[in-house]
Amino acid sequence: MIEVERQAFPYERIADDLRWEILSSRRQPGERLPSEHKLAEQYSTSRPTVRRAIALLKGEGLVVTEQGRGAFVRPTPHMRLLVTGSNYRRHRRAGLSGFSAQALEQGQMPEQLVLEVATIAAPLDVSMRLNLDEGAPVVVRRRVFRLDGRPVALCDSYYPAEWALGTAIAEMENISGGVHALIEDPAGPIHRSVARSVDDLVARMPMPDEVQSLDLPPGMPVVRVVRTIYDVDDAALEVQDTVAAADRHTFRYEVSMR
């Protein structure tokens, strides 16, 4: 059987060339692409063909368009998250959450907006991770994380209501230094010590509400990170369920084996 190589359509050739230029950093985030007229001349084709190529790249999340201004390489505020014990303690001593501390270290402006704080029946997976009976009451704090004003992640944090109720965890406000500062405060109402965490990561396509909340381009996946935090007695303190925009994060974990 003789295989015949498929000839790419003109719009595919244009898209292939521009995609390579973007992914190889020949074109930088925020850079304006040549006009439809210039690309049509360059490839000896029509402007509708160029428009189709740009639409393809836009669907892949590589390009954004602005009415009357043209097409641009998609700007991607990128958050590099390094998870280590020494990092965690250093940020705690500085009185900052890990997200805020690492964003500032990378020259970006972090913001955490509290969307909702409520006492609810624990979802099954949360109750199992917190070693609670199914449906036991938990306090949930729902937040959106932003970098330079742009949403990058949604995070729901769950705490056993038995000790979270009556503390600032159950209040609709940001907590100075983060929840762990309150948990570990020796003069506070909880005074327990954070010891370790276990993370489960799954990449998937976003739900419609996540697309809207994170301003995701068509076809862009998300990374769901479910982190369980334990104290020195190996009792679960918190479950963080984070949905992060895949094009705005790099995750790195350093684990000491000794």
CATH class of 10-73: mainly alpha
> Which residue has tokens 């935090």?
229
Percent with pLDDT over 70 in the chain: 94
Q: Is 162 exposed, middle or buried (0-12, 13-18, 19+ CB in 10 A)?
A: exposed
Q: What's the confidence (pLDDT) of residue 1?
A: 43
Dist CA 223 CA 226 (whole Å): 10
Say which residues have a Cβ less than 8 Å from residue 204's Cβ, sequence separation at least 6. Answer: 221, 222, 224
Say what the pLDDT of residue 131 is. 96
What pLDDT sits at residue 258?
47
- Residue 127 confidence (pLDDT) above 60: yes
pLDDT of 2: 47
* Mean of pLDDT values over 199-205: 94
Give 96-125 pLDDT, tens digit per residue.
777 888 888 878 888 999 999 999 999 999
CATH 3.40.1410.10 residue ranges of the chain are: 79-253
C-alpha–C-alpha distance, residues 238 and 194, integer Å: 10
68-82, 193-207, 225-239: least confidently modelled range = 68-82
The answer to whether 119 and 135 have CB atoms below 8 angstroms apart is no
Q: What is the per-residue pLDDT for 64? A: 83
What type of residue sits at position 229?
A: I
Q: For the residues 46-69, what does the mean pLDDT come to?
A: 87
pLDDT tens by residue, 157-192? 999 999 999 999 999 988 888 899 999 998 889 989
Q: Mean pLDDT in the chain?
A: 87
Which fold, 79-253?
Answer: Chorismate lyase (3.40.1410)
Residue ranges, comma separated, of all CATH 1.10.10.10 domains in the chain are 10-73
Distance CA(76)–CA(203), nearest Å, equals 19
Averaged over 151-157, what is the pLDDT?
95
pTM of the model: 0.76
Across 104-161, where does the E strand assignment appear? 110-121, 137-147, 150-160
Average pLDDT over residues 25-54: 92
Task: Extract the tokens encoding 108.
Answer: 């970006």
Average pLDDT score over residue span 187-209:
92
The full length of the chain comes to 258
Q: Which of 76-80, 86-90, 212-216 has the lowest mean pLDDT?
A: 76-80
